A and B are shown apart, each in its own frame.
Chain A
């Protein structure tokens, strides 16, 4: 075994056993590294920094949204069955694997070229804003559109055909078909609204705005996209949503070429800046507990409670990842009474009591501690 005591940052992050621990989290490696850290407490900071670097590297190379993964796995499964049926008819030729719409795209391209002259004629009628494209495609597939424009001075509750609820802020507009198609629930928003979506895994719910597209299975969240604002926002209350940029033209609901989707969990928000077209994920200013949302804020009393278990409770309560070094915090205890303080006030208190500090990094909380022993 190499002498890890002499290892530098670079040596750690390139070490196979170390990488396996961070990336695969296998039980054998967990045991090994936990024991090693306990025997070498002076190396904890170094190892944790290396660990964080590697997991951030892994995350930074993640380009596939959960939704896309689900779709593609389903597509392969479907085509496997098709090939199988085909196999039974013509046992010899498996080569004919179905491709996406690439061949179609080519044929379509040829037709487009031929039809170009004709198209030029119709150019002014073709939809060329996300809203126009939306109206055009939905009317083709789902039939008549309904638009609700909240001209009142208060928020207005709108019920969608699937039972989902939209709280439409004043001055905002939402469009949706009278009945959704079987495969998709598509809504277009101008302005701001809070969505409480009925869960239907087989019928994804999509909110288009001029800049952002939000896709969910069932959850609640706010979308803010006023036409004159310099930024657009999606704020998640419960569940999980993926957000990506709405393409300025072309097909709605398709991910753009190299634009990854951002996955948001509760108490996270994504901001889209109009001037540089960048998406930025962060924590909301005032994270709210995700469990027990109806009831009064609970009072929690801690007496000599290990601080790690307090963090775990907060993680669950707010649905926010808290990164800390559990070994280092062994021995840190908290005696406190928590009422309606905000999450950040609670963290301040815990940190003061345990000789630590915290920072918010990419919608997660990182605890830096010197330990209490």
Chain B
């Protein structure tokens, strides 16, 4: 895995935990779970609202890592590794659980095409006055096409750079920039000006 940025201190800590848990250190493993559970959970809510499915999927990922700890690679980019592995598992799982009301990777592609050009629903711009900033942001992000939501999450929740996001989503770096540009345009249209100045 490559990254132009220096590895942040927090990631260095993750990498140390990773090495220790590969060497059978249970405490390090539990600490890693604690430290990275949130980002994986919140990331998954961009794809499915089924919280139990998400929880199972995260548990499976971590237990699989624990079971295969001797075999897995050493990496300085633990968070990105986890997000990538989790993304694969989650999509596979969602496809398998197709009977459940979830969004699959195929539907994501389809939905992107279908909704990317849609303009924002202006009705809730008026409602916004009554909502807290957090709620209006939450709603505005929810209105974005799924792939844009994913980019927005990786960018503004985890602070990944565009190279890493491109890698996680298996798209070109330029595509990430386009998604971000479109997401910001739509957010600006949907949110009050005061948030942007």
Instruction: Spell out A's residues near B (CB within 8 Å).
Output: 9-10, 13-14, 16, 19-20, 22-24, 26-28, 46, 49, 53-54, 56-64, 69, 72-73, 75-77, 79-80, 83, 87, 94, 97, 99-102, 255, 257-258, 280-282, 361-362
Q: If the complex has contacts A362-B132, A362-B133, are A58 and B38 also in contact, measured as CB distance less than 8 A?
A: no
**In the bound complex, CA of A83 to CA of B68 (Å):** 12
Closest partner residue, chain A, to B59 (CB atom): A76
Could you tell me if A79 and B63 are in contact, using CB atoms closer than 8 angstroms? Answer: yes
Query: What are 10 inter-chain pairs, A to B, with CB distance below 8 A?
Result: A49-B195, A49-B197, A61-B138, A61-B153, A73-B30, A73-B34, A83-B66, A97-B60, A100-B56, A280-B132
B80 within 8 A of A: no
B residues less than 8 Å from A24 (CB atoms): 8, 10, 159
Mark B115-127 against chain A: 1 for CB-CB distance below 8 A, else 0.
Answer: 0000000000000
**In the bound complex, CA of A253 to CA of B131 (Å):** 26
A residues less than 8 Å from B37 (CB atoms): 64, 69, 72-73
B111 within 8 A of A: no
**In the bound complex, CA of A94 to CA of B60 (Å):** 11
- Complex partner residue of A255 from B51, B132, B156, B161, CB under 8 angstroms: B51
- Complex partner residue of B68 from A46, A53, A94, A101, CB under 8 angstroms: A94
Could you tell me if A76 and B133 are in contact, using CB atoms closer than 8 angstroms? Answer: no
Could you tell me if A14 and B180 are in contact, using CB atoms closer than 8 angstroms? Answer: yes
**In the bound complex, CA of A63 to CA of B54 (Å):** 12
B3-43 contacts to A (CB < 8 Å): 5, 8-10, 26, 29-30, 33-34, 37-38, 41-42
Instruction: Name the distance in Å between A141's Cβ and chain B's nearest Cβ.
Output: 21
Could you tell me if A60 and B158 are in contact, using CB atoms closer than 8 angstroms? Answer: no
Q: A56-B134, A58-B157, A97-B60 given. 12 additional CB < 8 A pairs?
A: A9-B197, A16-B159, A23-B158, A64-B37, A73-B33, A76-B30, A76-B33, A80-B30, A94-B64, A255-B51, A257-B51, A258-B49
**In the bound complex, CA of A361 to CA of B133 (Å):** 8
Could you tell me if A97 and B141 are in contact, using CB atoms closer than 8 angstroms? Answer: no
**In the bound complex, CA of A20 to CA of B131 (Å):** 28
A residues less than 8 Å from B10 (CB atoms): 24, 26
Instruction: Spell out B's residues near A (CB within 8 Å).
Output: 5, 8-10, 26, 29-30, 33-34, 37-38, 41-42, 45, 49-53, 55-56, 58-60, 62-64, 66-68, 131-135, 137-138, 141, 152-153, 155-159, 161, 180, 184, 195-197
**In the bound complex, CA of A297 to CA of B47 (Å):** 51
A residues less than 8 Å from B51 (CB atoms): 255, 257
A residues less than 8 Å from B68 (CB atoms): 94
- Complex partner residue of B63 from A22, A23, A80, CB under 8 angstroms: A80
**In the bound complex, CA of A19 to CA of B160 (Å):** 9
Could you tell me if A53 and B138 are in contact, using CB atoms closer than 8 angstroms? Answer: no
Could you tell me if B184 and A57 are in contact, using CB atoms closer than 8 angstroms? Answer: no
Instruction: Name the distance in Å between B41's Cβ and chain A's nearest Cβ.
Output: 5
Could you tell me if A69 and B38 are in contact, using CB atoms closer than 8 angstroms? Answer: yes
Instruction: Name the distance in Å between A143's Cβ and chain B's nearest Cβ.
Output: 29
Closest partner residue, chain A, to B26 (CB atom): A80
Instruction: Name the distance in Å between A112's Cβ and chain B's nearest Cβ.
Output: 16
A residues less than 8 Å from B138 (CB atoms): 60-61
- Complex partner residue of B42 from A62, A77, A361, CB under 8 angstroms: A62
Could you tell me if B52 and A102 are in contact, using CB atoms closer than 8 angstroms? Answer: yes
Could you tell me if B56 and A99 are in contact, using CB atoms closer than 8 angstroms? Answer: yes
- Complex partner residue of A63 from B42, B67, B180, CB under 8 angstroms: B42
Could you tell me if A100 and B55 are in contact, using CB atoms closer than 8 angstroms? Answer: yes
Could you tell me if A63 and B134 are in contact, using CB atoms closer than 8 angstroms? Answer: no
**In the bound complex, CA of A13 to CA of B155 (Å):** 9
A residues less than 8 Å from B184 (CB atoms): 10, 14
Closest partner residue, chain B, to A81 (CB atom): B26
